[in-house]
Amino acid sequence: MVILASGSPRRRELLRLIVPDYACIPAKGGETVPEGTAWSEVPEFLARQKALEVAAERPDDLVIGADTVVVLDGEILGKPRDEADAFRMLKSLSGRKHLVLTGVAAAEKGGIRSFTQTTEVEFYPLSDELIRAYVATGEPMDKAGAYGIQGRGCVLVKGIRGDYFNVVGFPLAETARLIGLL
């Protein structure tokens, strides 16, 4: 049985495209990263942590964990704390390029395999009015970097270089290869 160690509705929907029959058991542990961990290693570290946590309870299953971060100028932009934080993040991304990194891990039979996928995203220059209107929708509040490319946030994005599904939060093509579907 394939287990998704995530409660993300987006990841649930996406995984169904490559694995129609799976169970969802979200990892409950905190997202703690050791001091000094490079930003480029954070998503894969957290994905492995999530997969291993659930695999400890389900050792005979294939457990997939994932984590996504948005990085601007070497700083991780997590989920916004409040609307002011969402505004700040979106203002900092306005007219600029940033990176979206998703780590994916697959734990099975005591072993673990993982990877990190990176996609470059460029935003249009955004007016304060547009940012405020987008923040008011509530969409940015549960998303790394305060936007969702698959939702209303699509109008903020000028272009991407890399895997679109990675920006949504689950790089499907590489995940399919990781778990042996391709």
The one catalytic residue among 21, 61, 67, 163: 67
Question: Please, are residues 3 and 25 in contact by the beta-carbon 8 Å criterion?
Answer: yes
Q: Which element (helix H / strand E) includes 182?
A: none
Residue 153 CA to residue 140 CA, distance in Å, equals 8
Q: Do 48 and 56 contact (CB within 8 A), yes or no?
A: no
Check if 67 is active-site: yes
Q: How far is CA 111 from CA 41, 61, 114, in A?
A: 19, 11, 10
Chain centre distance of CA 117: 10
CA distance 16 to 37: 32
The catalytic residues are 67
